[in-house]
């Protein structure tokens, strides 16, 4: 399975994502720059975290309108898996590839800590290596992770199992509605989440709770 990582000015977790994908899949992902209009033939496209375009206007707003995101949307429409982590999640939401919006944390504080996540839907390409309801650990580091969607969208997300990760055991760090930490599109191939599973994949990280996400998506045996 092949992967690609989207690079944009202001991202700062791109090297972490590249390292995680390289370690887990055994080969380095392709990289695509913001102005690229074509993405190589891959199975998974990752949009890393950071502060693309300095979070100007709204987090992810400018990045979502760069040429590379049109190419990402075209690939996603063909069924290629897309994962957006942190700023990548914000970019997917701003691009209209996932519903809702990510607002300033309710505390108004940047949060950088470890949280607990419940696997709210283990029946996705990304979570199939976890047990339903399983609690895993994951780092978060963000200022704008407060997920919001209108009541009708929220009903649809909850009803269709599109809520994939939920902050568990009182660890919601940002005031996100229904403790939502990550959602998937209705086709089941575009995932966005605020936590950083790529930062918990090996013993040196203090655990490997995030590793199964990439193993599941890339179809790699644990």
Residues classed as catalytic: 86, 196, 198
Q: Among 3-11, 14-22, 42-50, 54-62, which window interacts with another protein (CB under 8 A)? A: 54-62
73 interacts with another protein by CB under 8 A: no
Neighbouring CB atoms inside 10 A of 37's CB total 10
**Among 7, 214, 12, CA closest to 112:** 12
Instruction: Identify which of residues 104 and 205 has a Cβ nearer to another protein in the complex.
Output: 104
Opening angle at CA 23, ends 55 and 212, nearest 5:
80
58 interacts with another protein by CB under 8 A: yes
186 interacts with another protein by CB under 8 A: no
From 28, 77, 106, 112, residue interacting with another protein (rule: CB under 8 A): 106
108 interacts with another protein by CB under 8 A: yes
Phi first, then psi, for residue 49 (nearest 5°) are: -90, 170
88 interacts with another protein by CB under 8 A: no
Instruction: Identify which of residues 144 and 198 has a Cβ nearer to another protein in the complex.
Output: 144
Query: What residues pair up with 142 in beta bridges, in sequence order?
Result: 111
State how far the Cα of 187 lies from the Cα of 126, in Å rounded to an integer.
Answer: 13
From 61, 73, 111, 135, residue interacting with another protein (rule: CB under 8 A): 61
Instruction: Identify which of residues 23 and 155 has a Cβ nearer to another protein in the complex.
Output: 155
Instruction: Identify which of residues 108 and 222 has a Cβ nearer to another protein in the complex.
Output: 108
The minimum distance between CB 103 and another protein, in angstroms, equals 7
| Collapsed DSSP state (helix, strand, coil) of residue 198 | helix
**Among 113, 118, 121, CA closest to 173:** 113
State how far the Cα of 213 lies from the Cα of 43, in Å rounded to an integer.
Answer: 14
Beta carbons within 8 Å of 46's beta carbon, 6+ residues apart: 3, 4, 5, 6, 17, 21, 29, 82, 83, 84, 85, 88
Q: Among 80-88, 92-100, 120-128, 196-204, which window interacts with another protein (CB under 8 A)? A: 92-100
State how far the Cα of 112 lies from the Cα of 159, in Å rounded to an integer.
Answer: 31
From 18, 44, 47, 149, residue interacting with another protein (rule: CB under 8 A): 149
From 2, 10, 30, 65, residue interacting with another protein (rule: CB under 8 A): 65
- For another protein, the binding residues (CB under 8 A) are 57-58, 61, 65, 94, 99-101, 103-108, 146, 148-150, 175
């Amino acid at each position: 399975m092949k992967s690609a990582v989207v690079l944009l000015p202001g991202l700062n977790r791109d090297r972490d994502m590249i390292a995680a994908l390289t370690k887990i899949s055994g080969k380095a992902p392709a990289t695509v720059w913001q102005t690229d209009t074509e993405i190589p033939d891959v199975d998974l496209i990752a949009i890393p975290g950071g502060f693309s375009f300095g979070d100007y206007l709204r987090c992810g707003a400018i990045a979502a309108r760069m040429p590379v995101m049109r190419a990402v949307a075209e690939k996603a429409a063909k069924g290629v898996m897309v994962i957006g982590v942190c700023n990548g999640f914000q970019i997917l939401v701003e691009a209209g590839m996932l519903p809702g919006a990510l607002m300033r944390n309710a505390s108004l504080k940047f949060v950088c800590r470890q949280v607990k996540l419940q696997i709210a839907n283990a029946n996705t390409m990304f979570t199939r290596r976890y047990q339903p309801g399983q609690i895993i650990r994951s780092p978060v580091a963000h200022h704008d992770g407060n997920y919001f969607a209108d009541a009708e969208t929220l009903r649809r997300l909850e009803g269709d199992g599109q809520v994939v990760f939920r902050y568990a055991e009182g660890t919601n760090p940002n005031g996100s509605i229904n403790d939502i930490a990550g959602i998937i599109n209705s086709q089941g191939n575009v995932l966005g989440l605020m936590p950083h599973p790529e930062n918990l994949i090996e013993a040196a990280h203090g655990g490997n709770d995030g590793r199964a996400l990439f193993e599941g998506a890339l179809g790699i045996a644990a």
